Structure 1
Amino acid sequence: MNYGKQEGLEIECICYEDIQIGVNQDGLWINANMQKVHNIDFVINRTRESILGKQFEQMGIRVFNSSEVTYIANHKGRTHQFVSGLGLPALKTMFFYPKFMSISNIPFVYPFVLKSPDGHGGEEVFKVEGEDELKKLLETYPKEEWLLQEMCKHVGEDVRVFVIGNQIIGAIRRYSNVDFRANYCLGGQIESYTLNEEQKGLVNHILMDLQCDYVGIDFIVDEEGKFIFNELEDAVGSRSLYNLNKIDTAKLYILYIAKEMKKLA
Protein backbone atom coordinates (compact mmCIF):
# COMPACT_ATOMS: atom_id res chain seq x y z
CA MET A 1 0.00 0.00 0.00
CA ASN A 2 2.90 2.36 0.73
CA TYR A 3 4.51 1.65 -2.63
CA GLY A 4 1.14 2.25 -4.24
CA LYS A 5 0.95 5.75 -2.76
CA GLN A 6 4.36 6.52 -4.24
CA GLU A 7 2.97 5.62 -7.67
CA GLY A 8 -0.33 7.45 -7.23
CA LEU A 9 -2.31 4.28 -6.54
CA GLU A 10 -4.73 4.04 -3.63
CA ILE A 11 -4.71 0.41 -2.51
CA GLU A 12 -6.96 -1.01 0.20
CA CYS A 13 -6.56 -4.45 1.73
CA ILE A 14 -9.80 -6.43 1.97
CA CYS A 15 -9.97 -9.99 3.32
CA TYR A 16 -11.62 -12.56 1.10
CA GLU A 17 -13.89 -13.55 3.99
CA ASP A 18 -15.35 -10.02 3.97
CA ILE A 19 -16.33 -10.11 0.29
CA GLN A 20 -19.67 -11.26 -1.10
CA ILE A 21 -20.26 -11.75 -4.83
CA GLY A 22 -23.29 -12.78 -6.83
CA VAL A 23 -25.83 -11.86 -9.49
CA ASN A 24 -29.32 -10.38 -9.56
CA GLN A 25 -31.74 -8.99 -12.13
CA ASP A 26 -29.39 -6.08 -12.76
CA GLY A 27 -26.34 -8.26 -13.32
CA LEU A 28 -23.22 -8.92 -11.28
CA TRP A 29 -22.66 -7.42 -7.83
CA ILE A 30 -19.81 -7.29 -5.31
CA ASN A 31 -20.00 -6.29 -1.64
CA ALA A 32 -17.14 -5.68 0.76
CA ASN A 33 -17.96 -5.59 4.47
CA MET A 34 -21.65 -5.60 3.50
CA GLN A 35 -21.27 -2.46 1.38
CA LYS A 36 -21.52 -2.34 -2.41
CA VAL A 37 -18.12 -1.61 -3.92
CA HIS A 38 -17.69 1.34 -6.26
CA ASN A 39 -14.97 2.95 -8.36
CA ILE A 40 -12.53 0.05 -8.48
CA ASP A 41 -9.88 0.40 -11.17
CA PHE A 42 -7.96 -2.81 -10.50
CA VAL A 43 -7.71 -5.78 -8.13
CA ILE A 44 -4.62 -7.58 -6.88
CA ASN A 45 -6.02 -11.04 -6.25
CA ARG A 46 -3.97 -12.78 -3.56
CA THR A 47 -6.63 -15.42 -2.98
CA ARG A 48 -6.68 -18.71 -4.83
CA GLU A 49 -10.26 -18.24 -6.03
CA SER A 50 -10.61 -17.87 -9.78
CA ILE A 51 -14.37 -17.22 -9.51
CA LEU A 52 -13.61 -14.05 -7.53
CA GLY A 53 -11.20 -12.80 -10.18
CA LYS A 54 -13.69 -13.69 -12.92
CA GLN A 55 -16.42 -11.68 -11.19
CA PHE A 56 -14.27 -8.53 -11.23
CA GLU A 57 -13.18 -9.16 -14.83
CA GLN A 58 -16.78 -9.58 -15.98
CA MET A 59 -17.45 -6.16 -14.47
CA GLY A 60 -14.66 -4.61 -16.55
CA ILE A 61 -12.04 -4.45 -13.78
CA ARG A 62 -8.38 -5.40 -14.41
CA VAL A 63 -7.28 -8.27 -12.16
CA PHE A 64 -3.67 -9.16 -11.28
CA ASN A 65 -3.28 -12.23 -11.75
CA SER A 66 -6.04 -13.01 -14.23
CA SER A 67 -8.77 -15.50 -13.38
CA GLU A 68 -7.29 -17.79 -16.05
CA VAL A 69 -3.95 -17.95 -14.23
CA THR A 70 -5.69 -18.55 -10.90
CA TYR A 71 -7.90 -21.26 -12.42
CA ILE A 72 -4.96 -23.13 -13.96
CA ALA A 73 -2.46 -22.67 -11.15
CA ASN A 74 -4.62 -23.73 -8.21
CA HIS A 75 -5.41 -27.22 -9.41
CA LYS A 76 -2.35 -29.36 -10.08
CA GLY A 77 -4.25 -31.50 -12.57
CA ARG A 78 -5.25 -28.51 -14.68
CA THR A 79 -1.72 -27.14 -14.39
CA HIS A 80 -0.16 -30.35 -15.69
CA GLN A 81 -2.70 -30.60 -18.49
CA PHE A 82 -1.88 -27.06 -19.60
CA VAL A 83 1.90 -27.33 -19.37
CA SER A 84 2.10 -30.82 -20.85
CA GLY A 85 -0.01 -29.55 -23.73
CA LEU A 86 2.85 -27.14 -24.44
CA GLY A 87 5.27 -30.05 -24.72
CA LEU A 88 7.29 -29.41 -21.55
CA PRO A 89 8.85 -32.38 -19.74
CA ALA A 90 6.94 -33.65 -16.68
CA LEU A 91 6.92 -36.68 -14.42
CA LYS A 92 4.42 -39.41 -15.19
CA THR A 93 1.23 -38.34 -13.43
CA MET A 94 -2.20 -39.91 -12.97
CA PHE A 95 -5.41 -38.13 -12.00
CA PHE A 96 -6.94 -40.44 -9.40
CA TYR A 97 -10.56 -40.46 -8.15
CA PRO A 98 -10.99 -42.81 -5.15
CA LYS A 99 -14.78 -43.12 -5.49
CA PHE A 100 -14.61 -45.04 -8.74
CA MET A 101 -10.98 -46.00 -9.30
CA SER A 102 -9.27 -49.04 -7.79
CA ILE A 103 -5.88 -48.77 -6.13
CA SER A 104 -5.05 -52.18 -7.59
CA ASN A 105 -5.05 -50.67 -11.10
CA ILE A 106 -2.48 -47.92 -10.58
CA PRO A 107 0.21 -47.85 -13.32
CA PHE A 108 3.05 -47.06 -10.90
CA VAL A 109 5.50 -49.03 -8.84
CA TYR A 110 5.93 -48.11 -5.19
CA PRO A 111 7.12 -45.77 -3.86
CA PHE A 112 5.31 -42.93 -5.61
CA VAL A 113 4.01 -39.50 -4.61
CA LEU A 114 0.41 -38.77 -3.63
CA LYS A 115 -0.61 -35.11 -4.00
CA SER A 116 -3.75 -33.17 -3.28
CA PRO A 117 -4.62 -31.16 -6.42
CA ASP A 118 -5.21 -28.00 -4.38
CA GLY A 119 -2.48 -28.29 -1.75
CA HIS A 120 0.20 -25.63 -1.27
CA GLY A 121 3.52 -25.28 0.50
CA GLY A 122 4.19 -29.00 0.50
CA GLU A 123 1.00 -29.76 2.41
CA GLU A 124 -0.91 -32.95 1.52
CA VAL A 125 2.06 -34.34 -0.40
CA PHE A 126 3.03 -37.86 0.63
CA LYS A 127 5.59 -40.45 -0.35
CA VAL A 128 3.66 -43.73 -0.49
CA GLU A 129 5.66 -46.89 0.16
CA GLY A 130 2.95 -49.50 -0.37
CA GLU A 131 -0.73 -50.32 -0.89
CA ASP A 132 -1.57 -50.45 2.83
CA GLU A 133 -0.13 -46.97 3.34
CA LEU A 134 -2.07 -45.67 0.33
CA LYS A 135 -5.33 -47.08 1.74
CA LYS A 136 -4.66 -45.43 5.08
CA LEU A 137 -3.91 -42.04 3.52
CA LEU A 138 -7.05 -42.14 1.38
CA GLU A 139 -9.11 -42.96 4.49
CA THR A 140 -7.42 -40.26 6.58
CA TYR A 141 -7.86 -37.61 3.88
CA PRO A 142 -11.22 -38.37 2.20
CA LYS A 143 -10.76 -36.11 -0.82
CA GLU A 144 -12.59 -36.65 -4.09
CA GLU A 145 -9.46 -36.46 -6.25
CA TRP A 146 -5.71 -36.86 -6.03
CA LEU A 147 -2.67 -36.81 -8.23
CA LEU A 148 -0.39 -39.82 -8.27
CA GLN A 149 3.10 -39.12 -9.53
CA GLU A 150 6.16 -41.22 -10.14
CA MET A 151 9.20 -40.49 -7.99
CA CYS A 152 12.02 -38.58 -9.56
CA LYS A 153 15.27 -40.52 -9.18
CA HIS A 154 16.81 -37.37 -7.74
CA VAL A 155 14.59 -36.13 -4.88
CA GLY A 156 14.72 -33.21 -2.48
CA GLU A 157 15.75 -30.51 -4.95
CA ASP A 158 13.86 -28.01 -7.06
CA VAL A 159 14.18 -24.53 -8.53
CA ARG A 160 11.56 -21.81 -8.21
CA VAL A 161 11.55 -19.14 -10.90
CA PHE A 162 9.89 -15.83 -10.03
CA VAL A 163 8.06 -13.92 -12.75
CA ILE A 164 6.62 -10.38 -12.71
CA GLY A 165 4.97 -8.94 -15.80
CA ASN A 166 5.82 -12.06 -17.79
CA GLN A 167 9.53 -11.39 -17.15
CA ILE A 168 11.89 -13.55 -15.09
CA ILE A 169 13.14 -11.53 -12.10
CA GLY A 170 15.09 -14.24 -10.24
CA ALA A 171 15.36 -17.87 -9.22
CA ILE A 172 16.24 -19.87 -6.12
CA ARG A 173 17.32 -23.45 -5.60
CA ARG A 174 15.58 -25.27 -2.76
CA TYR A 175 16.98 -28.51 -1.38
CA SER A 176 16.58 -30.81 1.57
CA ASN A 177 18.74 -33.57 3.00
CA VAL A 178 15.95 -34.89 5.25
CA ASP A 179 12.78 -34.82 3.12
CA PHE A 180 11.82 -35.55 -0.49
CA ARG A 181 10.06 -32.15 -0.42
CA ALA A 182 12.35 -29.13 -0.72
CA ASN A 183 9.92 -26.43 0.43
CA TYR A 184 11.47 -23.54 2.36
CA CYS A 185 8.51 -23.49 4.78
CA LEU A 186 9.20 -27.15 5.61
CA GLY A 187 12.80 -26.50 6.57
CA GLY A 188 14.43 -26.82 3.17
CA GLN A 189 17.63 -24.95 2.44
CA ILE A 190 17.82 -22.21 -0.18
CA GLU A 191 20.44 -20.59 -2.36
CA SER A 192 20.51 -18.23 -5.31
CA TYR A 193 20.27 -19.87 -8.72
CA THR A 194 21.26 -18.61 -12.14
CA LEU A 195 19.22 -20.00 -15.01
CA ASN A 196 20.94 -21.08 -18.20
CA GLU A 197 19.48 -20.32 -21.62
CA GLU A 198 17.79 -23.71 -21.95
CA GLN A 199 16.06 -23.26 -18.59
CA LYS A 200 14.98 -19.73 -19.44
CA GLY A 201 13.54 -21.15 -22.66
CA LEU A 202 11.32 -23.56 -20.71
CA VAL A 203 9.98 -20.73 -18.58
CA ASN A 204 9.39 -18.42 -21.53
CA HIS A 205 7.61 -21.21 -23.39
CA ILE A 206 4.98 -21.20 -20.63
CA LEU A 207 4.80 -17.40 -20.58
CA MET A 208 4.16 -17.26 -24.32
CA ASP A 209 0.85 -19.04 -23.75
CA LEU A 210 -0.13 -17.69 -20.33
CA GLN A 211 0.15 -13.99 -19.42
CA CYS A 212 1.39 -14.00 -15.82
CA ASP A 213 1.47 -10.84 -13.70
CA TYR A 214 3.20 -12.38 -10.68
CA VAL A 215 3.87 -16.11 -10.30
CA GLY A 216 6.39 -18.69 -9.24
CA ILE A 217 7.15 -21.60 -11.57
CA ASP A 218 8.67 -24.67 -9.93
CA PHE A 219 10.88 -27.24 -11.63
CA ILE A 220 12.19 -30.50 -10.21
CA VAL A 221 15.87 -31.05 -11.00
CA ASP A 222 16.58 -34.60 -12.18
CA GLU A 223 19.76 -36.64 -11.72
CA GLU A 224 21.24 -35.09 -14.89
CA GLY A 225 20.45 -31.53 -13.78
CA LYS A 226 17.58 -31.19 -16.27
CA PHE A 227 14.41 -29.26 -15.43
CA ILE A 228 11.14 -31.18 -15.11
CA PHE A 229 8.02 -29.04 -14.63
CA ASN A 230 6.40 -29.40 -11.22
CA GLU A 231 4.01 -26.60 -10.22
CA LEU A 232 2.75 -23.10 -10.96
CA GLU A 233 2.12 -20.83 -7.93
CA ASP A 234 0.04 -17.72 -8.52
CA ALA A 235 -0.27 -16.49 -4.91
CA VAL A 236 3.44 -17.05 -4.52
CA GLY A 237 5.44 -15.92 -1.50
CA SER A 238 8.88 -14.42 -2.01
CA ARG A 239 10.63 -14.17 1.37
CA SER A 240 13.28 -16.61 0.14
CA LEU A 241 14.10 -14.41 -2.88
CA TYR A 242 14.23 -11.31 -0.69
CA ASN A 243 16.36 -12.95 2.00
CA LEU A 244 18.90 -14.14 -0.56
CA ASN A 245 19.00 -11.41 -3.17
CA LYS A 246 17.18 -8.47 -1.56
CA ILE A 247 14.83 -8.38 -4.54
CA ASP A 248 11.78 -6.40 -3.38
CA THR A 249 8.97 -8.13 -5.22
CA ALA A 250 6.31 -5.90 -3.63
CA LYS A 251 7.93 -2.81 -5.10
CA LEU A 252 8.53 -4.42 -8.50
CA TYR A 253 4.94 -5.66 -8.61
CA ILE A 254 3.50 -2.23 -7.83
CA LEU A 255 5.75 -0.56 -10.41
CA TYR A 256 4.49 -3.08 -12.98
CA ILE A 257 0.84 -2.56 -11.97
CA ALA A 258 1.23 1.22 -12.19
CA LYS A 259 2.69 0.88 -15.67
CA GLU A 260 -0.13 -1.42 -16.78
CA MET A 261 -2.82 0.91 -15.42
CA LYS A 262 -1.30 3.87 -17.25
CA LYS A 263 -1.76 1.90 -20.48
CA LEU A 264 -5.47 1.61 -19.71
CA ALA A 265 -5.91 5.26 -18.75
Structure 2
Amino acid sequence: MKGYIIYNTEDLTKNKRFIKFITETLNEYNIDVELVIIDRVELAELENPDFVINRSRNADVSRYFEGKNIRVFNSGKITEIANDKRKSYEYLEGIVPFMPLMSEEEAESSGKPYIIKSCNGHGGTQVFMVENFRQKNEAINEMKGNDFIFQKCCSDLGRDVRVYVIGNEIVQAMERTSAESFKSNYSLGGKAEPYTLKDYEISMVKKILNVLPMDYAGIDFIFHKGKAVFNEIEDAVGARMIYENTDIHIVKLFAEYIARKVRK
Protein backbone atom coordinates (compact mmCIF):
# COMPACT_ATOMS: atom_id res chain seq x y z
CA MET A 1 0.00 0.00 0.00
CA LYS A 2 1.27 3.44 -0.92
CA GLY A 3 0.23 7.00 -0.25
CA TYR A 4 1.37 10.51 -1.12
CA ILE A 5 2.09 13.28 1.36
CA ILE A 6 1.76 16.51 -0.55
CA TYR A 7 3.43 19.84 0.21
CA ASN A 8 4.38 22.97 -1.65
CA THR A 9 7.99 24.14 -1.69
CA GLU A 10 7.31 27.06 0.65
CA ASP A 11 6.25 24.81 3.56
CA LEU A 12 8.67 21.95 2.98
CA THR A 13 11.64 22.95 5.15
CA LYS A 14 9.73 23.66 8.36
CA ASN A 15 7.75 20.41 8.04
CA LYS A 16 10.60 17.93 7.66
CA ARG A 17 10.05 16.47 11.14
CA PHE A 18 6.32 16.06 10.46
CA ILE A 19 7.08 14.21 7.21
CA LYS A 20 9.67 12.01 8.97
CA PHE A 21 7.31 11.05 11.82
CA ILE A 22 4.34 10.24 9.63
CA THR A 23 6.45 8.28 7.13
CA GLU A 24 8.17 6.20 9.83
CA THR A 25 4.91 5.37 11.60
CA LEU A 26 3.10 4.34 8.44
CA ASN A 27 6.11 2.23 7.42
CA GLU A 28 5.52 0.25 10.63
CA TYR A 29 2.16 -0.72 9.11
CA ASN A 30 3.84 -1.70 5.80
CA ILE A 31 2.49 1.45 4.18
CA ASP A 32 4.87 3.42 1.97
CA VAL A 33 4.66 7.21 1.79
CA GLU A 34 6.06 9.26 -1.06
CA LEU A 35 6.65 12.99 -0.73
CA VAL A 36 5.17 15.02 -3.58
CA ILE A 37 6.08 18.69 -3.98
CA ILE A 38 3.01 19.90 -5.76
CA ASP A 39 4.43 23.03 -7.39
CA ARG A 40 7.11 20.92 -9.10
CA VAL A 41 4.90 18.31 -10.76
CA GLU A 42 1.69 18.01 -12.74
CA LEU A 43 -1.05 16.01 -11.04
CA ALA A 44 -1.76 14.10 -14.24
CA GLU A 45 1.84 12.80 -14.20
CA LEU A 46 1.33 11.04 -10.88
CA GLU A 47 0.29 7.42 -10.52
CA ASN A 48 -2.83 6.77 -8.49
CA PRO A 49 -1.93 6.11 -4.83
CA ASP A 50 -4.08 4.33 -2.26
CA PHE A 51 -4.49 7.55 -0.27
CA VAL A 52 -3.28 11.14 -0.08
CA ILE A 53 -2.27 13.35 2.84
CA ASN A 54 -2.76 16.82 1.42
CA ARG A 55 -0.71 19.41 3.30
CA SER A 56 -0.57 21.90 0.42
CA ARG A 57 -3.66 23.91 1.48
CA ASN A 58 -4.86 23.52 -2.10
CA ALA A 59 -8.41 22.17 -2.29
CA ASP A 60 -8.06 21.45 -6.01
CA VAL A 61 -5.41 18.86 -5.16
CA SER A 62 -7.80 17.08 -2.81
CA ARG A 63 -10.63 17.19 -5.33
CA TYR A 64 -8.44 15.82 -8.11
CA PHE A 65 -7.77 12.64 -6.14
CA GLU A 66 -11.27 12.49 -4.66
CA GLY A 67 -12.53 12.49 -8.24
CA LYS A 68 -10.63 9.23 -8.64
CA ASN A 69 -12.25 7.81 -5.48
CA ILE A 70 -8.96 8.07 -3.57
CA ARG A 71 -9.16 8.83 0.15
CA VAL A 72 -7.72 12.23 1.01
CA PHE A 73 -6.78 13.55 4.47
CA ASN A 74 -8.25 16.27 4.87
CA SER A 75 -11.14 16.34 2.44
CA GLY A 76 -11.36 18.96 -0.30
CA LYS A 77 -14.31 20.55 1.51
CA ILE A 78 -12.29 21.08 4.69
CA THR A 79 -9.27 22.37 2.78
CA GLU A 80 -11.41 24.85 0.84
CA ILE A 81 -13.30 26.23 3.83
CA ALA A 82 -10.43 26.19 6.33
CA ASN A 83 -8.12 28.09 4.00
CA ASP A 84 -10.63 30.84 3.26
CA LYS A 85 -11.57 32.78 6.38
CA ARG A 86 -14.53 34.43 4.68
CA LYS A 87 -15.94 31.02 3.75
CA SER A 88 -15.25 29.71 7.28
CA TYR A 89 -17.30 32.48 8.85
CA GLU A 90 -20.07 32.17 6.27
CA TYR A 91 -20.25 28.41 6.79
CA LEU A 92 -20.30 28.64 10.60
CA GLU A 93 -22.72 31.58 10.81
CA GLY A 94 -25.35 30.74 13.42
CA ILE A 95 -23.46 27.62 14.54
CA VAL A 96 -20.75 29.14 16.75
CA PRO A 97 -20.02 32.75 17.79
CA PHE A 98 -17.18 34.73 16.23
CA MET A 99 -16.16 38.38 16.06
CA PRO A 100 -18.43 40.17 13.57
CA LEU A 101 -17.24 40.99 10.08
CA MET A 102 -17.59 44.60 8.95
CA SER A 103 -17.62 46.56 5.75
CA GLU A 104 -14.75 48.97 5.17
CA GLU A 105 -17.07 51.88 5.93
CA GLU A 106 -18.27 50.30 9.18
CA ALA A 107 -14.69 49.64 10.27
CA GLU A 108 -13.54 53.18 9.56
CA SER A 109 -16.53 54.81 11.24
CA SER A 110 -16.42 52.61 14.36
CA GLY A 111 -13.88 54.83 16.07
CA LYS A 112 -12.19 51.72 17.50
CA PRO A 113 -9.26 49.52 16.44
CA TYR A 114 -10.29 46.76 14.05
CA ILE A 115 -8.71 43.80 12.29
CA ILE A 116 -7.79 43.41 8.65
CA LYS A 117 -6.72 39.92 7.65
CA SER A 118 -6.12 37.96 4.51
CA CYS A 119 -8.67 35.28 3.76
CA ASN A 120 -6.00 32.71 2.93
CA GLY A 121 -3.25 33.63 5.39
CA HIS A 122 -2.03 31.17 8.01
CA GLY A 123 0.28 31.12 11.01
CA GLY A 124 -0.64 34.68 11.95
CA THR A 125 0.59 36.14 8.67
CA GLN A 126 -1.29 38.99 7.00
CA VAL A 127 -3.26 39.84 10.16
CA PHE A 128 -3.20 43.50 11.21
CA MET A 129 -4.79 45.57 13.95
CA VAL A 130 -5.65 48.93 12.44
CA GLU A 131 -6.27 52.24 14.21
CA ASN A 132 -6.04 54.83 11.43
CA PHE A 133 -6.22 55.43 7.70
CA ARG A 134 -2.45 55.07 7.18
CA GLN A 135 -2.34 51.71 8.95
CA LYS A 136 -5.33 50.55 6.92
CA ASN A 137 -3.58 51.32 3.63
CA GLU A 138 -0.36 49.69 4.81
CA ALA A 139 -2.27 46.54 5.79
CA ILE A 140 -4.11 46.37 2.48
CA ASN A 141 -0.82 46.78 0.60
CA GLU A 142 0.57 43.82 2.54
CA MET A 143 -2.23 41.65 1.18
CA LYS A 144 -0.54 41.75 -2.23
CA GLY A 145 -3.84 41.39 -4.05
CA ASN A 146 -5.23 38.59 -1.85
CA ASP A 147 -8.84 38.74 -0.71
CA PHE A 148 -9.20 40.12 2.83
CA ILE A 149 -11.81 40.92 5.44
CA PHE A 150 -12.51 43.60 8.04
CA GLN A 151 -13.40 42.27 11.47
CA LYS A 152 -14.27 43.66 14.88
CA CYS A 153 -11.36 43.40 17.30
CA CYS A 154 -11.74 41.11 20.32
CA SER A 155 -11.22 42.57 23.79
CA ASP A 156 -8.73 40.02 25.13
CA LEU A 157 -5.66 40.51 22.95
CA GLY A 158 -2.61 38.26 22.88
CA ARG A 159 -4.43 35.10 23.92
CA ASP A 160 -6.00 32.22 22.05
CA VAL A 161 -6.61 28.47 22.25
CA ARG A 162 -5.89 25.88 19.59
CA VAL A 163 -7.79 22.61 19.74
CA TYR A 164 -6.02 19.73 17.98
CA VAL A 165 -8.39 17.27 16.35
CA ILE A 166 -7.77 13.80 14.91
CA GLY A 167 -10.55 11.73 13.37
CA ASN A 168 -13.16 14.27 14.46
CA GLU A 169 -12.15 13.84 18.11
CA ILE A 170 -10.44 16.32 20.42
CA VAL A 171 -6.85 15.30 21.22
CA GLN A 172 -5.48 18.30 23.13
CA ALA A 173 -6.10 22.01 23.56
CA MET A 174 -3.21 24.45 23.88
CA GLU A 175 -3.42 28.03 25.17
CA ARG A 176 -1.11 30.54 23.51
CA THR A 177 -0.26 33.92 25.00
CA SER A 178 1.91 36.87 24.02
CA ALA A 179 2.85 39.95 26.03
CA GLU A 180 4.38 41.65 22.98
CA SER A 181 1.69 41.30 20.31
CA PHE A 182 -2.06 41.04 19.86
CA LYS A 183 -1.19 37.84 17.95
CA SER A 184 -0.30 34.87 20.17
CA ASN A 185 0.90 32.43 17.48
CA TYR A 186 3.58 30.06 18.74
CA SER A 187 5.51 30.45 15.49
CA LEU A 188 5.64 34.21 16.15
CA GLY A 189 7.10 33.83 19.62
CA GLY A 190 4.01 33.29 21.76
CA LYS A 191 4.13 31.04 24.83
CA ALA A 192 2.08 27.86 24.95
CA GLU A 193 0.79 25.46 27.58
CA PRO A 194 -1.87 22.74 27.78
CA TYR A 195 -5.38 24.06 28.29
CA THR A 196 -8.44 22.40 29.79
CA LEU A 197 -11.49 23.19 27.69
CA LYS A 198 -14.62 24.37 29.43
CA ASP A 199 -17.90 22.60 28.70
CA TYR A 200 -19.19 25.37 26.42
CA GLU A 201 -15.89 25.35 24.51
CA ILE A 202 -16.12 21.60 23.98
CA SER A 203 -19.67 22.14 22.78
CA MET A 204 -18.47 24.69 20.20
CA VAL A 205 -15.81 22.30 18.93
CA LYS A 206 -18.38 19.51 18.56
CA LYS A 207 -20.77 21.82 16.69
CA ILE A 208 -18.00 22.68 14.23
CA LEU A 209 -16.97 19.05 13.80
CA ASN A 210 -20.58 18.05 13.25
CA VAL A 211 -20.80 20.16 10.10
CA LEU A 212 -17.11 20.03 9.09
CA PRO A 213 -15.65 16.57 9.87
CA MET A 214 -11.85 16.75 10.09
CA ASP A 215 -9.13 14.11 9.87
CA TYR A 216 -6.36 16.25 11.35
CA ALA A 217 -6.67 19.97 11.99
CA GLY A 218 -6.56 22.75 14.53
CA ILE A 219 -9.58 24.82 15.57
CA ASP A 220 -8.60 28.20 16.98
CA PHE A 221 -10.53 30.35 19.43
CA ILE A 222 -9.82 33.89 20.59
CA PHE A 223 -11.34 35.57 23.67
CA HIS A 224 -13.81 38.42 23.92
CA LYS A 225 -14.82 39.65 27.38
CA GLY A 226 -13.42 36.46 28.86
CA LYS A 227 -15.31 34.03 26.60
CA ALA A 228 -13.93 31.98 23.75
CA VAL A 229 -15.19 32.74 20.24
CA PHE A 230 -14.26 30.94 17.03
CA ASN A 231 -11.39 32.43 15.05
CA GLU A 232 -10.22 30.02 12.34
CA ILE A 233 -9.46 26.46 11.27
CA GLU A 234 -5.89 25.39 10.48
CA ASP A 235 -6.07 22.68 7.85
CA ALA A 236 -2.35 21.84 7.51
CA VAL A 237 -1.88 22.44 11.22
CA GLY A 238 1.62 22.48 12.67
CA ALA A 239 2.75 20.26 15.53
CA ARG A 240 5.80 21.97 17.07
CA MET A 241 3.81 23.63 19.86
CA ILE A 242 2.34 20.37 21.09
CA TYR A 243 5.68 18.49 20.91
CA GLU A 244 7.56 21.14 22.85
CA ASN A 245 4.94 21.48 25.58
CA THR A 246 3.35 18.02 26.02
CA ASP A 247 4.27 14.34 25.81
CA ILE A 248 1.74 13.73 23.03
CA HIS A 249 3.20 12.25 19.81
CA ILE A 250 0.42 13.77 17.74
CA VAL A 251 1.80 12.98 14.28
CA LYS A 252 2.15 9.32 15.28
CA LEU A 253 -1.49 9.39 16.42
CA PHE A 254 -2.50 10.88 13.08
CA ALA A 255 -0.50 8.26 11.18
CA GLU A 256 -2.09 5.45 13.18
CA TYR A 257 -5.52 6.93 12.39
CA ILE A 258 -4.65 6.97 8.68
CA ALA A 259 -3.49 3.35 8.85
CA ARG A 260 -6.77 2.27 10.43
CA LYS A 261 -8.78 4.06 7.77
CA VAL A 262 -6.90 2.86 4.70
CA ARG A 263 -6.46 -0.76 5.84
CA LYS A 264 -10.18 -1.35 6.42
Alignment correspondent of 2:87: 78
| Structure 2 gaps, min length 5 | 1-22
Determine which of 191, 198, 219 is the counterpart of 2:200. 198
Q: Distance in 2 between matches of 1:105 and 1:160?
A: 27
**CA–CA distance in structure 1, aligned partners of residues 58 and 143 of structure 2:** 22
| Partner residue of 1:92 out of 94, 97, 100 | 100
CA apart distance, 1:207: 0.6
Give the conservation status (yes or no) of the 8 Å contact 2:51–2:70. yes
Correspondence list, 1:1-265, <5 A: 1-21=23-43, 30-31=44-45, 36-38=46-48, 40-86=49-95, 88-94=96-102, 103=105, 106=108, 108-224=110-226, 226-263=227-264
Q: Give the unaligned 5+ runs of structure 1.
A: 22-29, 97-101
Aligned equivalents of 2:154 and 2:97: distance in 1? 12
| Structure 1: distance between partners of 2:85 and 2:142 | 21
User: What percent of counterpart residues are identical?
Assistant: 37
- Could you tell which deviates more after superposition, 192-201 or 130-139? 130-139
How far apart are the structure 1 equivalents of 2:263 and 2:193? Answer: 36
The one-letter code matched in structure 2 to 1:120 is H
Shift in CA distance, 134/45, structure 1 to aligned 2, threshold 3 Å:
same
What secondary structure does 1:12 align onto? Answer: strand
Count of residue pairs brought into register by the alignment = 242
Deviations along 1:13-50, whole A, 9 cap, x unmatched? 111123313xxxxxxxx21xxxx414x11000011000
Return the letter of the residue paired with 2:247: K
For residues 126-153 of structure 1, the C-alpha deviation after alignment (integer angstroms, 9 at most, x for no partner) is 1111123212332454425211111111
> 1:108·1:150 contact (CA, 8 Å) conserved in 2?
no
Deviation by residue 1:190-218 (Cα, 9 ceiling, x = unmatched): 11101122211110111111110000000
Decide whether the 8 Å contact of 1:218 with 1:229 is kept in 2: yes
Asked whether the equivalents of residues 126 and 142 of structure 2 are also in contact (C-alpha less than 8 Å), the reply is no
Structure 1 runs of 4+ off > 6 angstroms? none
1:254 counterpart letter in structure 2: A
Cα distance, 1:8–1:228 mapped onto 2, change above 3 Å = same
RMSD (CA atoms): 1.7
What's the TM-score, normalizing by structure 1? 0.86
Which structure has the larger Rg over C-alpha atoms? Answer: 1
Aligned residue identity for 2:61? L
* Residues 208 and 140 of structure 1, relative CA distance in 2, 3 Å threshold: closer
Give 3-state SS (helix, strand or coil) of 1:89's partner.
Answer: coil
The one-letter code matched in structure 2 to 1:150 is K
**Is 1:110–1:130's contact at 8 Å kept on the other side of the alignment?**
no
Per-residue CA deviations over 1:138-180 (Å, capped at 9, x if unaligned) read: 2454425211111111111000000000000001000111100
AA partner of residue 256 (structure 1):
Y
SS in 1 for 2:31: coil
**Paired residues of 2:217 and 2:236 also in contact (CA < 8 A):** yes
The answer to which structure has the higher helix fraction is: 2
* 1:50–1:67 contact (8 Å) kept in structure 2: yes
Using a 3 Å threshold, how does the CA distance of structure 1 residues 103 and 241 change in structure 2: closer, same or farther?
same
